[in-house]
Amino acid sequence: MGSLDPPSNAQGGKTLIHDDVDDNQQSTADVRSELSPAANEDVGSPPENEGLKRRKIGVLPLEVGTRVMCRWRDSKYHPVKVIERRKVSSGGPNDYEYYVHYTEFNRRLDEWVKLDQLDLDSVEAVVDEKVEDKVTSLKMTRHQKRKIDEIHVEGHEELDAASLREHEEFTKVKNIATIELGRYEIETWYFSPFPPEYNDCVKLYFCEFCLNFMKHKEQLQRHMIDGKKNKVYGQNLCYLAKLFLDHKTLYYDVDLFLFYVLCECDDRGCHMVGYFSKEKHSEESYNLACILTLPPYQRKGYGKFLIAFSYELSKKEGKVGTPERPLSDLGLLSYRGYWTRVLLDILKKHKGNISIKELSDMTAIKAEDILSTLQSLELIQYRKGQHVICADPKVLDRHLKAAGRGGLDVDVSKLIWTPYKEQG
């Protein structure tokens, strides 16, 4: 539903040993090469490296579902699962590239890797998914289970197990690897359902002003921009956003939404850095449907600014609001941080008792979000049939410090906006 912070980003190398690797981190192959000559005195036996080579070739090509260690962008090996494979053009019968999921990380880091990035000595046989999930669950600590359960509930509460599995199967392989938007080339995070004619594109070129997307840079340089086609712009914005949001529903009927696009401006024009959408009429009191800060502009406070801005619009409407669910993992973290900072800042300054409803009226944050935030911080207790806020100043300071700094300030005096129902 929202994506605000990026993962680390670099490119994997092509050799097993790097100049900056510590002497104690040599590979198994190096250790074998240092064995005494006596180990290979039997002339009738093939050299050990030849035997290893034949054994490794015997496991190729790797089957979908295989577990193996893969050298990642940090030059370290991490456990992965093979999701898909494809033949390398003009290669041999075992020449494949493999699309892998790093089991320690979110799906946004899934990628195609070459065979030389995989440690074939670590290959594990394909196992039954249900058995594997049960074994993995038994090995988890209580803290790990709680963390995973929280992400599952908050991120996928609208999807049952069957729907979630169907979603992951349909979107398991990213169809577009990179996009070019303005002066940035950006690696994508997730699958996005572009029209079939774009299925063979590894890279797409987006116009940062009208958001039309093209297969070739030459098309981008000469295409025409029609500012009247707002519907096309909204649909293209949804296509673009889906490349960075896992559980986003792609709305083709964008007439139901208003899009608030945040830009950085320079002498070349206004360059989109992020946006949020908002239903024109929401029965569930949603004040935000979808939010995204593009990866090159993350960690600059723009996502927090957009969240704060959405609540200022709710105040203008005289309503309380809440973001549409499900929230992404990064969206949940950003909202929890925002709610924490806003609520604890009020509790620090407020003298005397204050109720959940009063906090909701002051902040436009829905009462359920206030309650869940204070409960997660262990700042609320249930006594004699009602919730009581326990606001020790030292505890508040500790939580505020942990929540980190806020984003850019919203200057409400500069906000000129009329709620949609009152327009024209």
Reduced 3-state DSSP string for 143-175: HHHHHHHHHHHHHHCCCCHHHHHHHHHHCCCCC
Strands 77-87 and 96-102: antiparallel
Q: Specify the pLDDT at position 390.
A: 84
Position of tokens 């499900």? 326
Can you name the CATH fold of 330-414?
A: Arc Repressor Mutant, subunit A (1.10.10)
Whole-structure pTM value: 0.63
Q: Specify the pLDDT at position 108.
A: 92
C-alpha span between 74 and 82 (Å, rounded): 19
Tell me the CATH class for 159-326: alpha beta
Task: Supply the angle between the helices 142-156 and 329-349 in degrees, to the nearest 10.
Answer: 100
Give the pLDDT confidence of 384-412 residue by residue, as tens digits: 788 788 888 899 999 999 988 888 899 99
User: Where are the CATH 1.10.10.10 domain residues in the chain?
Assistant: 330-414
Q: Specify the pLDDT at position 241.
A: 92
> Can you read off the two tokens belonging to residue 315?
């105040």
Choosing from 111, 154, 208, 324, the catalytic residue is: 324
Residue 356's region, left for phi above 0, alpha for psi from -120 to 50, else beta, is alpha
Q: Specify the pLDDT at position 199.
A: 83
Please, which residues bridge with residue 3 across strands? 292
User: Where are the CATH 2.30.30.140 domain residues in the chain?
Assistant: 62-124
Gyration radius from the chain CA atoms: 26
Q: Specify the pLDDT at position 164.
A: 81
Q: Specify the pLDDT at position 17.
A: 29
Q: Specify the pLDDT at position 209.
A: 83
> Can you read off the two tokens belonging to residue 288?
């935000």
Give the pLDDT confidence of 280-308 residue by residue, as tens digits: 989 999 999 999 999 999 999 999 999 99
C-alpha span between 295 and 187 (Å, rounded): 9
Q: Specify the pLDDT at position 4.
A: 59
DSSP 268: T
Low-confidence ranges of the chain (pLDDT < 70): 1-57, 127-158, 222-230, 249-252, 422-424
Q: Which amino acid is at 316?
A: K
C-alpha span between 148 and 163 (Å, rounded): 18
Asked if 4 and 291 count as a contact pair (C-beta separation under 8 A), the reply is: yes
Q: Is the link from the previous residue into 295 a cis peptide, with omega within 30 of 0?
A: no
- Is-catalytic flag, 324? yes
Domain at 62-124: CATH architecture: Roll (2.30)
Phi and psi torsions of 350, nearest 5°: -80, 135
Asked if 291 and 323 count as a contact pair (C-beta separation under 8 A), the reply is: yes
User: Where are the CATH 3.40.630.30 domain residues in the chain?
Assistant: 159-326
